[in-house]
Amino acid sequence: MTIAWSGSPRTVEVPCTVDIEITPDSVHAYVELDGIEVGPGDEVIVHDAPAMVPFGTQHFYYRRATVVRAGPMERLRARLAGYLELTELYEVGFSEGRTQ
């Protein structure tokens, strides 16, 4: 496993595994980064990600990904946005009566 620090101190290139499944039991796409954890506000760009997988199959691809770390203000904004979205779900989920 090698982690390459790119031009910016906030940018890291890492190997990753892309798991794509399209079957009657499951439709999903997961990316597992090797050797790094992402936090709120971080961006992940998978290079040469497959665009299509045949129905009824599951494939694993080994690619590289670029992780752009969020700064302190971006992390705060992402945490706040997540909290506000969660409280909106509470309001919708527990409201009384029908809406007109």
User: What's the mean pLDDT when you consider all of the chain?
Assistant: 84
> What's the whole-number mean pLDDT along residues 5-11?
66
Percent of the chain whose predicted confidence (pLDDT) is above 70: 78
Q: Rounded mean pLDDT of 74-96? A: 76
Which of 24, 23, 6, 4 is CA-nearest to residue 14? 4
The predicted pLDDT at position 91 comes to 59
Q: Span 66-81, mean pLDDT?
A: 91
